[in-house]
């Protein structure tokens, strides 16, 4: 859950007060100062437009990637604080999944940044996969964010609003939208959560203002009861939980454990973080993987067996060797093809090539 030489001219520019936004539209009530400039002062590149209402539109084209950027001065007093980069985001239309079944991130809006030292060199990148619009929220507005500890000797942060691309997917003019980008310096994760909650509290108003709905997950009433087994996560966070019979949550510590129980991220329901915080976490999932591999007669596919029930395809021989050693074939147990229906089939393993 983490968040990309300047000249003397840039250094002077950092000291200029941020201009007032052209239109406040939706007011975000936080106890912390937003250090990001009004979008009207951000630098535009390629197919990028800053609208008078404060929204930013990027368009995917074959000519040139569109993005906007701005530099924010970081005083030395912030060097031990967290930096939180946050914005409302919306995708015009997500692409269909790839042939492999993986989600196609092309066209999705995302946040990015550099932590820069006094020489203008990059100390560290302000990025991770959770600073990208969630493809499962499709064309709905959502709150996208990431945070990191500000690296030592950081003098400035360069912020970008960008649009994802993927090799093999043609840019066809789809838009990525941003609204109210913010950079906040806070002392701990509780303050991060407070600001995120303030953004989420105004999410419905953003959708109403700009004529697009928010995700149905954000419209859930506070008294919603989730059925046992419901998979839940909150916007911008990586952790996934399942609902227990006593209305507590059980956490999946990593992807391997999640997939070992036959789950797919397509089945995970995204709700507000404030709603998720209403539930107590009462345990962590573990899994048991068989020491042998499974194969069915007449078929080349080889699977791992998790929890005595879930088969996951090993995509290639190289991955099999990496996972189980050079004698991996000795671990194969071959069964009649008639037993294929006795198992459930989970998400295939990723190739380790």
274, 200 in Cβ contact below 8 A?
yes
As a whole number of angstroms, the distance between CA 99 and CA 67 comes to 28
Specify the pLDDT at position 171.
56
Query: Which tens digits make up the pLDDT trace of 247-277?
Result: 899 999 998 999 999 888 777 888 888 888 8
pLDDT of residue 170: 57
Whether residue 3 is predicted with pLDDT greater than 80 in this model: the reply is no
Instruction: State residue 97's pLDDT score.
Output: 54
d(CA 151, CA 80): 8
| Nearest-angstrom CA–CA distance, 269 and 230 | 8
Position with higher pLDDT, 112 vs 95: 112
**Per-residue pLDDT, 158:** 95
Q: Cα–Cα distances in Å, from 251 out to 21, 90, 224, 239?
A: 41, 28, 20, 7
Q: What span, in angstroms and rounded, lies between the C-alpha atoms of 320 and 351?
A: 9
- Lowest-confidence region among 16-30, 65-79, 174-188, 217-231: 16-30
- 132 DSSP β-pair partners: 110
Residue with the bigger pLDDT between 96 and 116: it is 116
- What pLDDT score was predicted for residue 19? 36
Query: How close are the terminal C-alpha atoms of the chain, in Å?
Result: 26
Selection from 4-18, 227-241, 319-333 with the highest mean pLDDT: 319-333
DSSP letter at 289? B
Q: Residue 206: which of 109, 270, 136, 141 has the closest Cα?
A: 141
* Phi–psi pair at 290, nearest 5 degrees: -60, 150
Per-residue confidence (pLDDT) for residue 342, from 0 to 100: 84
> How many Å apart are CA 20 and CA 6, to the nearest integer?
25
pLDDT of 328 higher than 90: yes
Q: What are residue 233's DSSP bridge partners?
A: 270
Predicted pLDDT at 166 = 61
On whether the CB atoms of residues 164 and 134 are closer than 8 A, the answer is: no
Candidates 349, 324, 231, 217; CA nearest to 285 is: 231
Query: Stretch 294-320: mean pLDDT, rounded?
Result: 93
pLDDT class of 104 with cuts at 50, 70, 90? low
**Of 34-43, 86-95, 100-109, which one has max mean pLDDT?**
34-43
pLDDT at position 224 is 58
For residue 343, give the DSSP letter. S
Q: Give residue 6's pLDDT.
A: 30
Q: Answer yes or no: is pLDDT of 2 > 50.
A: no
- In order of start, what are the domains of the chain with their CATH numbers? 39-210 (2.60.120.260), 230-284 (no CATH), 293-345 (no CATH)
Mean pLDDT of the chain: 80
Count CB atoms within 10 A of the CB of residue 281: 13
User: Which pairs count as long-range contacts for 48-56, CB under 8 Å and 24+ apart, including other chains?
Assistant: 52/22, 52/23, 53/22, 53/23, 53/25, 53/210, 54/21, 54/22, 54/23, 54/24, 54/25, 54/179, 54/180, 55/177, 55/178, 55/179, 55/210, 56/161, 56/177, 56/178, 56/179, 56/181
Residue 140, CA atoms < 13 Å, CB-side half-sphere: 19
| Per-residue model confidence (pLDDT) at position 134 | 81
Give the containing element (helix H, strand E) for 194: helix 189-201
Please state which of the ranges 5-9, 129-133, 265-269, 319-323 shows the lowest mean pLDDT.
5-9
Report pLDDT digits (tens) over 181-217: 999 999 888 889 899 999 998 988 998 888 664 444 3
Give pLDDT tens digits for 22-71.
445 788 888 888 999 888 889 998 888 888 888 999 887 655 668 999 99
pLDDT band, residue 81 (cuts 50/70/90): confident
pLDDT of residue 103: 61
């Amino acid at each position: 859950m983490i968040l990309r030489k300047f000249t003397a001219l840039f250094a002077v520019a950092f000291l200029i007060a941020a201009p007032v936004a052209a239109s406040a539209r939706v007011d975000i009530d936080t106890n912390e100062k937003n250090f990001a400039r009004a979008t009207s002062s951000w630098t535009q590149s390629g197919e990028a437009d800053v609208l008078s209402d404060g929204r930013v539109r990027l368009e995917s084209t074959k000519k040139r990637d569109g993005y906007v950027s701005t530099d924010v001065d970081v005083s030395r007093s912030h060097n031990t604080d967290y930096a939180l980069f946050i914005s409302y985001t919306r995708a015009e239309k997500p692409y269909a999944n790839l042939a492999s079944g993986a989600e196609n991130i092309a066209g999705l809006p995302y946040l990015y940044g550099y932590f820069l030292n006094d020489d203008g060199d990059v100390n560290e990148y302000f990025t991770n996969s959770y600073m990208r619009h969630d493809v499962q929220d499709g064309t709905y507005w959502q709150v996208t964010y990431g945070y990191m500890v500000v690296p030592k000797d950081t003098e400035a942060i360069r912020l970008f609003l960008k649009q994802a691309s993927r090799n093999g997917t043609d840019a066809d003019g789809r838009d990525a939208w941003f609204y109210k980008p913010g950079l906040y310096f806070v002392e701990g994760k509780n303050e991060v959560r407070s600001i995120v909650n303030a953004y989420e509290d105004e999410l419905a108003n953003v959708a109403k203002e700009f004529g697009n709905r928010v995700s149905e997950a954000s419209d859930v009433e506070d008294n919603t009861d989730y059925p046992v087994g419901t998979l839940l996560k909150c916007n911008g966070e990586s952790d996934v939980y399942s609902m227990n019979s006593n209305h507590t949550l059980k956490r999946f510590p990593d992807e391997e454990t999640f997939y070992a129980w036959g789950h797919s991220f397509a089945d995970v329901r995204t709700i507000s973080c404030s709603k998720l915080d209403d539930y107590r976490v009462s345990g962590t999932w573990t899994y048991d993987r068989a020491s042998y591999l499974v194969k069915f007669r007449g078929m080349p596919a080889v699977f791992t067996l998790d929890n005595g029930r879930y088969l996951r395809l090993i995509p290639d021989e190289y991955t099999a060797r990496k996972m189980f050693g050079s004698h991996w074939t000795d671990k194969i147990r071959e069964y009649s093809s008639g037993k294929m229906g006795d198992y459930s089939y989970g998400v295939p393993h990723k190739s380790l090539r």
